[in-house]
Every structure is written in structure tokens, then in C-alpha cells.
């Protein structure tokens, strides 16, 4: 069952697209879409970043529902990181609060692309979060690892990515090994940032890894 919170982009509130299984919910995958470095513009109905993660949500959901796992996709209020990530981080924490209120006690995996991966590593310390999966994540060299303490970290990146750095992702995963329960990097080969080549491989990685962390 898919439910989407009413869209109030003009009022700048975050929204959620929730796909719930018919059975008892045993876990939740929270999907976090990408964005841009600087923008105060709302995430509108034509957001390519949001639609790309909606496609990932559709790919993950059938297998997730077989296991009683719900998939929730967050739409941030605004598109940009804007120096501090204040908006996407606050919106992700709000989404996590909605999950724990709706499904108290279930484990949660954060599945983020690009800026969504950056957001995820800031909120991984929230109650219930067991792991983070980054898809071509945006993890600059000064990215913090503290919120990953005791959590699992997985990341996949393509070497042809010109938007974010596969080398930086690998370095971040190595740094996170000092605090995370486990940390693994997967090289997806000569693919770019937007996950438009080898779509099946991206979908399979997202599905198997996110659900695997819920085991």
C-alpha cells in the first residue's frame, strides 16, 4: 500500500511517500534522495533527484514486502546542502521520528543517493537505525563518522562519476571502520553518478544490501 503525504512545497514542509506491506512490519528502509550544493529552491514535482530515488524505492519494495519491510521515501523541503546540511538533516530526523511513531521498535536502514548519503551519515545515530547504504554518496574529506558508531556502513560508487568521488567514498569507508560495526565499499565499475547505466546492478545492490542490513 502506497501513501503519500500531502505536498505543500510552497509552505516548505518535508513529505513522505510510504509503501507499507500487508503483513506486520518488521523493518523500514528510509530512502534519501540527492540534491545540490547550494539552493534554497523547494524540491518540486519535477525533481530528477527525487524521481530517481522513487524508482529505487519501486525496485526495492517487492522484495522488501516479502519480508514485511516498509519503504519510505523522504522529500526534503529544499534542494540544497547550503553549507551545513541543516534542512536535509532536520528533515531526515523528522522522517525518522515519524517511522518510530508509526512502527515503534523496528530496525531502520538509511538508503541514500549523493546528498542523501551525506544526510544519512549525520542522522545514523537516531534510535532504531542499524545501518547506512550509500549510492554514489557525497562524502567530502571532512565528513563526520561519529554517528556511525555501532552501525553498519555499505557504499557503492562508480569510477566514472564526475559529480562525487569514488575515491573519497572509499576513504570515508576506511575511516568509518574505526567506529562502525562493519564497513564495506563496492566498486561498480565505469558508471556515472546518476545510476542511469547498469540500472539493474544499482537496483540489486540497493535491494540486497539494505535488506541484508536488516537481518
Can you tell me the mean pLDDT for 105-125? 98
- What integer pLDDT is reported at residue 11 of this predicted model? 52
Tell me what pLDDT residue 7 has: 41
Least Cα distance to 161 among 125, 130, 133, 198 occurs for 198
- Taken in order 180, 53, 66, 104, the sign of the CA dihedral is positive
Taking 50 as the threshold, does the pLDDT of residue 170 lie above it? Answer: yes
pLDDT in tens, 52-72: 999 999 999 999 999 999 999
30 in Cβ contact with 99 (< 8 Å): yes
Residue 123 lies in domain: 2-213
Considering the chain, what is the average pLDDT of its residues?
Answer: 95
Q: Per residue in 6-41, pLDDT tens?
A: 443 335 899 999 999 999 999 999 999 999 999 999
Cell numbers representing residue 160 in the block: 566514472
If one counts the domains in the chain, the total is 1
Quote the DSSP letter at residue 147.
G
Q: 53: exposed, middle or buried (C-beta count within 10 Å: 0-12, 13-18, 19+)? A: buried
Q: What are phi and psi of 29, to 5 degrees?
A: -105, 120
Q: Are the CB atoms for 32 and 92 separated by under 8 Å? A: yes
What does the pLDDT read at residue 3?
64
pLDDT tens-digit map of 145-163: 999 999 999 999 999 999 9
In degrees and rounded to multiples of 5, residue 174 shows phi and psi of -60, -45
Phi, psi of 203, rounded to the nearest 5 degrees: -65, -45
* Total-model pTM: 0.95
Residue 2 pLDDT exceeds 80: no
Mean pLDDT of 96-115: 98
The band of 166, judged by pLDDT with boundaries at 50, 70 and 90, is: very high
Q: What CATH number does residue 127 fall under?
A: 3.40.50.1820
Task: Determine the distance from the C-alpha atom of residue 7 to the mean position of all C-alpha atoms in its chain, rounded to a whole number.
Answer: 20
Position 175 pLDDT exceeds 90: yes
Question: Which of 112, 61, 56 lies closest to 88, judged by CA?
Answer: 112
Question: How sure is the predictor about 45, in pLDDT bands with cuts at 50, 70 and 90?
Answer: confident
For range 118-136, the mean pLDDT: 98
Q: Is the pLDDT at 140 greater than 80, yes or no?
A: yes
Q: Which residues partner with 132 through β-bridges?
A: 110, 153
Comparing 1-10, 184-193, 202-211, which segment has the lowest mean pLDDT? 1-10
Amino acid at each position: 500500500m502506497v501513501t503519500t503525504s500531502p505536498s505543500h512545497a510552497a509552505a516548505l514542509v518535508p513529505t513522505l511517500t510510504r509503501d507499507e506491506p500487508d503483513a506486520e512490519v518488521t523493518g523500514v528502509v528510509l530512502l534519501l534522495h540527492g540534491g545540490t550544493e547550494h539552493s534554497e529552491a523547494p524540491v518540486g514535482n519535477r525533481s530528477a533527484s527525487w524521481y530517481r530515488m522513487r524508482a529505487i524505492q519501486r525496485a526495492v519494495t517487492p522484495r522488501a514486502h516479502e519480508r514485511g519491510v516498509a519503504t519510505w521515501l523522504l522529500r526534503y523541503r529544499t534542494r540544497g546542502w547550503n553549507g551545513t546540511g541543516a534542512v536535509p538533516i532536520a528533515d531526515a530526523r523528522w522522517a525518522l521520528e515519524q517511522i518510530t511513531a508509526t512502527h515503534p521498535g523496528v530496525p531502520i536502514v538509511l538508503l541514500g543517493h549523493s546528498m542523501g548519503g551525506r544526510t544519512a551519515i549525520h542522522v545514523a545515530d537516531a534510535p532504531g537505525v542499524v545501518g547506512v547504504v550509500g549510492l554514489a554518496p557525497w562524502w567530502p574529506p571532512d565528513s563526520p563518522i561519529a554517528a556511525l558508531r555501532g552501525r553498519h556502513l555499505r557504499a557503492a560508487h562508480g569510477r566514472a562519476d564526475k559529480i562525487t568521488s569514488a575515491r573519497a567514498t572509499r576513504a570515508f569507508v576506511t575511516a568509518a571502520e574505526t567506529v562502525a560495526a562493519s564497513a564495506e565499499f563496492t566498486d561498480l565499475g565505469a558508471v556515472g553518478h546518476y545510476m542511469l547505466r547498469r540500472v539493474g546492478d544499482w537496483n540489486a545492490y540497493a535491494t540486497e544490501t539494505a535488506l541484508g542490513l536488516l537481518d
